[in-house]
Structure 1
Amino acid sequence: MATVYYRRFVAVTETERRLDAIEREALSALPESNRPHLLVALAPEVPGDMPITQGSYERYRDELRRWHSLMALKGMRFYDVRIGARRIAAANPGGASVRCELHRDGSGAFVVRLQDEPVAANGDPYHSVEPSDLMLGLLSGLQLLGSHARDRAAALGTLIIRTSLMDSPHAHPRGPSKPAMTPFPPVRLEWVDRTGFRNNLSSQECSYAHAEAAALLDDLADEGAGLVQTAALLADELVQAFGLAEVGPVSVQGEIRETSWSSRYREAVVDWAEQHDVPVVRP
């Protein structure tokens, strides 16, 4: 029995080291920035093996160029798809500035510059991020990485997931060096209504928030309530660093809370939920 526990401990330690490397490599590939980013990284407990040949690369390239964010919102698209060391990397240098690295063993990273708006309060600048934008990036990244692990690499079982919300990539413990640019405003989570009025949801500022979870591979690869549950679990932990108990737009029961989504996304989010049998909570 002691040997079983020891082997389990060693496996978890190796997965943690693998995630450290995945995060470091993904962040080092980003252009210099002082804008808020969301990073999602995962590694399967039973690795797979994605074949990389000329034929498979061309197929992956075409798949990734056709990919778009869940609910087809925000213009998160990949145009530049390349082969890397034991991986496929895809990026969109402009627009939403989204990047993914999909490794042969089924692990991967997804990083996106969040939709934000520089604002000044009492002369102090900050980046305003809506929970809806955070959730859209998190749901999209989890589904993309989960489907890669299952469908390209044929990984099995559970996944260990890390996600980070940071005011700029260098704020991450494994991020790049601080770039030669200023300022580096903190992030605040805010609800913005149709008139532009800002309701500051944060009771405190945070330059780097981190969350971890384990999930079944199929829950992420399949767009459904399991994906929403996992995203909610991670998001709740992230926003607690800003003084919020829960994220709002989704629940750990796997529900979409309609009125908590920005009006920009609400209709498309509800349509997506109904198509994938995700419960929608209405007033």
Structure 2
Amino acid sequence: MKGQKKMQRILNKIKQYETIIIHGHKRPDGDCYGAQFGLKNIITSSFPDKKVYVVGERSDFVDFVGKVDQITDDVYQGALSIVVDTAVKDRISDSRYTLGQEIIKIDHHIPVDNYGDLRWVDTTFPSCAQMITYFYYKFKKELKLTQEGAIALYTGIVTDTGRFRFRGVSQLTHQLAGLLIEKGVDVEYIDQMLSKESLEMIALKGYVYSNFVTAKGFVYIKMTRDVIEKYNVTDEQAASNVGLIGGIEGYPVWALFMEYPNEIRIRLRSSGPNIDKLANHYQGGGHAKAAGCKLESWEQLDQFVKDAENLVQTYKNGV
């Protein structure tokens, strides 16, 4: 069984603590929110007397899944911190997770930082929300899950699998999605919520299609502050456009360079070579085909492009 002993230890810790605080990563996506709010729902439904909080940054894109809690430092006294969907310590949203008495890490990314007193990391899962759903499934005789939690978990699975299109989707993925539908998930409602587009976003997509840059087997788009402000979109909306330049024949690796006020984040994707080591080299990590990293300044861009080109060339040469 996938992580049975670790899951049992996690369940025991959940039973042990009266206060549980669930963290995710900075700039949360659907999977992060889905795992956080889905786990919260499982715990509160199963153990009504426990105090459970979801903390961290807010996501406009999947805000319908749940509302982040605002808590003071003293709440961490004697509490259990659970961090989901986050491979690297410096990407954990709200550094107060270290104030908890114990820390549990639940993640599906290639491990980078082995933080936490108890870790359940399994890269065979295509989403962290599926891990949380699997956790419920394995202990469903003693755990409860409501429609609200099922909506959160289904949203997480759908978003991180590209609506069941990406590598890693398995029979188990569909089985667990079916379980969530049985709990009352309205798939049409979730699809509508995830498919909403503003006129500003449509215009920004036109900009991306008109301004992407091609290198040798690598294609990318720069999302600078002036572009984001010109099209009047949020950072989250701008960064979500990475998929637009994927799938171009002859360019198996692509990226969106996102300029934030204090750093340049890279959303890196591949349909060919593994890119996680390239991401590691630029202070990041993730999956073999989908990763994130960063540049210290735009001066590093040329070197990153060269490294991406070399990666593609090595892949094409079969080395």
Please report the TM-score for the alignment, with normalisation by the length of structure 2: 0.25
Structure ranking higher on relative contact order (CA contacts 8 Å, 6+ apart): 1
Whose radius of gyration is greater, 1 or 2?
2
Question: Where is the helix percentage greater, Structure 1 or Structure 2?
Answer: 2
Give the alignment's TM-score, normalised by structure 1: 0.27
